[in-house]
Amino acid sequence: MNGLSLLPVIALDMIGSAANIIFSFLAWRYAHLLAKRQPNNFVWGYLHYVTFAIAAFSISRAVGHLIKQFLLIFERADVWADISAYSGGFNTLFMISVAAVMIFYHKGVQAYQVLEHEAVKLKDANKNLAVAADQLRDLNQNLEEKVLERTEEVSQSEKKFRHLFSASKDLVFFCNETGRLVDMNDSGFEMLGYDRKEAKELFLTDLFADPGQSCIYNAMLGRDGYIKDLNSEFVKKNGAAIPVLISATAIFDEVGVMHGSEVIAKDLTKVKTTLEQLAVSEKMASIGQMAAGVAHEINTPLGIILGYSQLLMDDFPVGSEQHQSLQVIERQTKASRKIVADLLRFSRQSESTKELINLNDVLVDVVAVMEHILSLSHISLQLDFDKSLPALFGDAGKLRQVFVNLINNAYHAMQDTGGKLYLQTILQKGGRWIEVKVRDTGCGIPEKNQARIFDPFFTTKPVDQGTGLGLSVSYGIVHEHGGKIIVESPTLDLEKGTALGTLFRITLPVSSPEELS
CATH topology of domain 355-516: Heat Shock Protein 90 (3.30.565)
CB-based contact 179:194 (threshold 8 Å) = no
482 vs 453: CA distance, rounded Å: 20
317 closest CA partner among 306, 326, 308: 326
DSSP 64-83: HHHHHHHHHHTT-HHHHHHH
Q: Which residues contact 215 (CB under 8 A, 6 or more apart)?
A: none
22 vs 25: CA distance, rounded Å: 5
ω into 490 cis (within 30 of 0): yes
Q: Walk along the chain (517 residues) and give the pLDDT tens digit of each residue.
A: 455 556 676 677 667 777 777 777 787 777 778 777 877 776 677 777 677 777 776 776 667 667 766 776 676 767 666 676 666 666 677 667 666 666 666 666 666 667 777 778 888 888 888 888 887 777 776 766 777 777 666 666 555 555 565 667 778 878 888 778 777 887 777 778 887 777 777 787 788 888 788 788 888 887 888 888 888 888 888 888 888 888 888 888 777 788 788 888 888 777 777 666 655 655 655 666 666 666 666 777 877 887 878 888 888 888 888 888 888 888 888 877 776 776 665 555 445 678 888 999 989 888 887 887 888 888 898 999 998 889 888 888 888 888 888 888 888 888 888 889 999 999 987 788 999 999 988 887 777 666 666 666 656 565 455 555 667 778 888 888 888 888 887 765 555 555 578 898 999 998 754 544 4
CB-based contact 2:8 (threshold 8 Å) = no
pTM of this structure: 0.39
CATH classification number, 273-346, choose in 2.60.120, 1.10.3470, 1.10.287, 3.30.2450:
1.10.287
Beta-sheet strands, E only, within 59-206: 171-176, 181-184
338 closest CA partner among 302, 291, 292, 313: 302
DSSP 328-372: HHHHHHHHHHHHHHHHHHHTT-S----EEE-HHHHHHHHHHHHHH
398 closest CA partner among 344, 437, 439: 344
Query: For position 349, what pLDDT does the model report?
Result: 47
Q: How many CA atoms lie within 13 A of 68 on its CB side?
A: 18
247 closest CA partner among 272, 225, 270, 269: 225
Q: Which residues contact 285 (CB under 8 A, 6 or more apart)?
A: none
213 closest CA partner among 229, 196, 231: 231
Architecture of domain 168-267: 2-Layer Sandwich (3.30)
